[in-house]
């Protein structure tokens, strides 16, 4: 098929390559002229046959909203926009409704696979109508992992169903990473066990905690046993917060994922502010020593 692809960063650039390797024609647009195939969004749309299919792969929030707004002006009835970024699921209903005013279809698609997706394929979770999804199906088939029936799922007709599924995936990702990290801290800080990287490596086969995240951690620990080169600071780009927000909205207990989100917030503090108050109270009721700077 012929497809427009907006956003040619780490994810979009590799997806363009994987689509091309599968024989599809991709017209890629990026604000960075060094990677872009065309000079503008309008030039990209001009090169596409009708009905045009455009896959948006830009950061969530304003960049995605404004790109979809511009595409609404450029596209026509029967065309399709796919949002493959990590958009908040609540944005999808708004984007779908806005595009529908011109008869333009919309599919939201959670994409997972990171920088390894070029070779391994991407897990794709999509929401929207089957009729709209049919227009982008050849690209879905090329992007998903080969030789498996898994990796491509229709999460439902509601706009946002795909991004909701991807959001929960990322929430689980937070908690899994936190669990590995806490286990590693205990092993690394005590002297009970020698050769901690190889202990982690021994868990990669046969055990119930084997996973790709574990594989990635083993690679890092083998290169830098105590992770001395890495500061203990972790950012977040929204997915964990939205997962916890949705859990609160639906009164779903989420102790592990919410704790892993808050652990990231703790990592951003130079000093633990709340612990100042704990220390002050301990000192007050028990005369316990206060540590000063």
Q: Which residues are catalytic?
A: 166, 173
| Helix (H), strand (E) at residue 71 | helix 62-74
| Residue 7 sits in the site that holds ligand 5RP (CB under 6 A) | no
Site string for ligand 5RP, 230-259 (x = CB under 6 A): ------xx-xx-------------------
Cα dihedral 28, 31, 34, 39, rounded to 10, equals: 70
Site string for ligand 5RP, 76-115 (x = CB under 6 A): ----------x-------------------------x-x-
CA 159 to chain centre: 18
Cα dihedral 185, 186, 187, 192, rounded to 10, equals: 150
The DSSP output letter for 50 is S
| Residue 197 sits in the site that holds ligand 5RP (CB under 6 A) | no
Count of positions on this chain that bind ligand 5RP (CB under 6 A): 9
* Close Cβ partners of 214 (under 8 Å, ≥ 6 residues apart): 180, 200, 203, 204
Q: Do residues 127 and 167 touch, judged by C-beta distance below 8 A?
A: no
Shortest distance, position 88 Cβ to ligand 5RP, whole Å: 12
Supply angle C-alpha 123, 124, 126, rounded to 5: 160
Q: Do residues 91 and 65 touch, judged by C-beta distance below 8 A?
A: yes
Q: Which is nearer to ligand 5RP, 129 or 220 (CB)?
A: 220
* Close Cβ partners of 255 (under 8 Å, ≥ 6 residues apart): none
Site string for ligand 5RP, 116-155 (x = CB under 6 A): ----------------------------------------
- 14, 64, 87, 170: which one binds ligand 5RP (CB under 6 A): 170
The neighbouring-strand residues paired with 47 are none
Q: Do residues 52 and 46 touch, judged by C-beta distance below 8 A?
A: no
Shortest distance, position 13 Cβ to ligand 5RP, whole Å: 15
Q: Which is nearer to ligand 5RP, 112 or 220 (CB)?
A: 112
Q: Which is nearer to ligand 5RP, 86 or 95 (CB)?
A: 86
- Contact residues toward ligand 5RP (CB under 6 A) are 86, 112, 114, 170, 173, 236-237, 239-240
């Amino acid at each position: 098929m012929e497809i427009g692809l907006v956003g040619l960063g780490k994810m979009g650039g590799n997806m363009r390559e994987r689509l091309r390797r599968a024989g599809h024609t991709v017209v890629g647009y990026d604000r960075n002229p060094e990677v872009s195939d065309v000079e503008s969004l309008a030039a990209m749309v001009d090169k596409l046959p009708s009905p045009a299919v455009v896959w948006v792969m830009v950061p969530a929030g304003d960049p995605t909203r404004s790109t979809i707004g511009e595409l609404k002006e450029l596209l026509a009835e029967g065309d399709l926009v796919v949002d493959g970024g990590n958009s908040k699921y609540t944005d999808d209903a708004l984007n779908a409704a806005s595009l529908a005013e011109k008869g333009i279809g919309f599919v939201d698609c959670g994409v997972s696979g990171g920088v390894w997706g070029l070779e391994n394929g991407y897990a794709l979770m999509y929401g929207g109508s089957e009729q709209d999804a049919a227009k982008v199906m050849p690209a879905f088939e090329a992007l998903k992992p080969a030789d498996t029936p898994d990796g491509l799922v229709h999460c439902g007709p509601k706009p946002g169903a795909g991004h909701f599924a991807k959001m929960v995936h990322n929430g689980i990702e937070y908690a899994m990473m936190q669990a590995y990290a806490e286990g590693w801290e205990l092993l690394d800080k005590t002297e009970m066990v020698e050769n901690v990287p190889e202990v982690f490596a021994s868990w990669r086969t046969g055990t119930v905690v084997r996973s790709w995240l574990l594989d990635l951690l083993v690679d890092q620990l083998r290169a830098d046993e105590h992770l001395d080169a890495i500061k203990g600071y972790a950012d977040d780009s929204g997915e964990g917060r939205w997962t916890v927000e949705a859990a609160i909205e639906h009164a779903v207990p989420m102790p592990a994922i919410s704790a892993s989100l808050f652990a990231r917030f703790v990592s951003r503090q130079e000093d633990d502010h709340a612990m100042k108050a704990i220390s002050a109270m301990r000192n007050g009721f028990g005369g316990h020593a206060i540590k000063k700077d």
